[in-house]
Homo-oligomer: A and B are copies of this chain.
C-alpha cells in the first residue's frame, strides 16, 4: 500500500535523483558514502518519505553538496548554464552597452555584466551609490573610474573592486571603445 507524499512543489525525490545522476552515482554507492542505506535513498527518490533534515544532509554530504545549494537548484527543468552572446539581456543605453549574464535566472548571488562604453560614454552625471560590492576587469580600451573621491584610468588587464555604497562613476575619456566584464554581489540587476 502506497502513500505518495505530495508537498506541493517540493519534489525532493526527483531533485535528489537528478543530482545523484549528474554525479554518476548509484543509489548503493551514494548510500555507502553517505552512511545511510540504499533503501532509504530509494524511498526518498520515490517521495515515499520526506527525509529528516539530518538524513538529507548526510546524503548530500556523500555527493558532496550543501543543503543551500540543493534547495537553490532549480527543479523545473535544468537551469540555464550557457548563455550565447545573443541571449544576454541588453540593459544599457545608446552609448553604454550592458549585457547581463543569466538574466533569466530567478535567483542568484551576483550580477555579471559584459559592458561596452563608446568613446565619451559614461554612467551619468550623478555618482552611483547602491548596496553591495562590485568588481571587474578591463578587457580592451581604457576607462576612467572614480570611487569615493579617487580617480584612476584603467587599461586592458587592470581591475577594480570596491564597496558599491561609495559614490562611483565610469567614463570613457579615450578615443576608442572600452570593453570590460564586471560583477556585483548582491545582484544589482
0/1 string, A1-35, CB within 8 A of B gives 1 = 00001010010100000000011000000000000
Total interface residues in chain A, CB < 8 Å: 80
Kindly list chain B residues whose C-beta atoms are within 8 Å of the C-beta of A85.
152, 154-160
Asked if B114 contacts A159 (CB within 8 A), the reply is yes
**In the complex, A80 has a CB within 8 A of chain B:** yes
One of B52, B56, B69 near A131 (C-beta < 8 A): B69
A69 to chain B, nearest CB (A): 4
Kindly list chain B residues whose C-beta atoms are within 8 Å of the C-beta of A112.
135-137, 159, 161, 183
Best-buried of A64, A67, A99 by chain B (most CB within 10 Å): A67
The residue of chain B having its C-beta at the shortest distance from the C-beta of A132 within the complex is: B77
Give chain A's interface residues, CB within 8 Å of chain B.
5, 7, 10, 12, 22-23, 49-57, 63-73, 77-85, 88, 99, 101-102, 105, 107-110, 112, 114, 129, 131-133, 135-137, 139-140, 145, 147-150, 152, 154-167, 179, 181, 183, 185-186
29 sampled A-B residue pairs with Cβ under 8 A: A7-B54, A10-B53, A22-B149, A23-B167, A49-B52, A52-B52, A68-B68, A68-B131, A69-B165, A70-B71, A77-B132, A81-B147, A81-B162, A82-B147, A82-B148, A82-B154, A82-B159, A82-B162, A83-B161, A84-B154, A85-B155, A99-B159, A101-B135, A101-B136, A101-B159, A108-B161, A109-B109, A110-B185, A136-B181
